[in-house]
């Protein structure tokens, strides 16, 4: 039996870092953010719908999505965010299901679905266990502003648009505390790897 572990957490909580640590132990993963980028590539129906709704200003000279401009729209208006999700979420889910099926057919005892919106999007229905990567909101805001080149107000809006930290923790089957150093993070990953292998019926 190949288990699907859903990895989630607020923006800039360290989800990709954790996924890479599991990958170093031989565990494959798919990132919903990567799939989200795929479904708005040129030629995709979702991108055509976005351009029709907001105009060509949402496209760059190569016909690709101007992500920053779209982000400013949807994080300022919940109605627009809901419309965008109605265009992208079903397409993301369809592709995720296909990738998860491919990994389940492989040799690894378990695999990861990394998704910032695991609970909000309903993708939690695709997993056997949920793993929340936890970081203080102040740290998330600092990392987001630094990483994405946005100001603090927009970083706060992004964090506020996601599921409340305590609500996310309450729904977790497992939690990694990403407030320490890299060694502490790796130890937590190694401990969970042993647990997940046992649950999947594989030797640790």
Burial status of residue 42 (CB atoms within 10 A of its CB: 0-12, 13-18, 19 or more): exposed
CA distance 164 to 171: 11
Could you list the residues known to form a binding site for ATP, using ranges: 12-17
**3-state secondary structure (DSSP) of residue 59:** strand
Beta carbons of 122 and 97 less than 8 angstroms apart: no
* Strand ordering across the sheet containing 129-134: 29-31, 110-114, 3-8, 129-134, 174-177
Measure the CA dihedral 163/166/171/174, to 10°: 120
Annotated binding site: 12-17
| Whether the Cβ atoms of residue 21 and residue 112 lie closer than 8 Å to each other | no
**Residue 68 tokens, joined:** 């920053």
């Amino acid at each position: 039996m190949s288990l699907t572990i859903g990895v989630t957490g607020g923006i800039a909580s360290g989800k990709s870092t954790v996924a890479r640590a599991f990958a170093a132990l031989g565990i494959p993963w798919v990132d919903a953010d990567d799939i989200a980028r795929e479904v708005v590539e040129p030629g995709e129906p979702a991108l055509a719908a976005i351009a029709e709704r907001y105009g060509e200003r949402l496209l760059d000279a190569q016909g690709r999505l101007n992500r920053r401009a779209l982000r400013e729209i949807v994080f300022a208006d919940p109605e627009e965010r809901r419309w965008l999700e109605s265009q992208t979420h079903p397409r993301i889910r369809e592709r995720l299901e296909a990738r998860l099926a491919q990994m389940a057919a492989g040799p690894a005892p378990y695999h990861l679905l990394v998704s910032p919106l695991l609970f909000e999007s309903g993708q939690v229905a695709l997993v056997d266990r949920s793993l929340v990567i936890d970081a203080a909101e102040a740290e998330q805001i600092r990392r987001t502003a630094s990483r994405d080149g946005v100001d603090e107000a927009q970083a706060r809006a992004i964090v506020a648009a996601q599921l409340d930290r305590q609500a996310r923790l309450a729904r977790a089957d497992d939690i990694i505390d990403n407030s320490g150093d890299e060694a502490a993070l790796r130890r937590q990953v190694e401990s969970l790897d042993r647990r997940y292998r046992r649950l999947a019926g594989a030797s640790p």
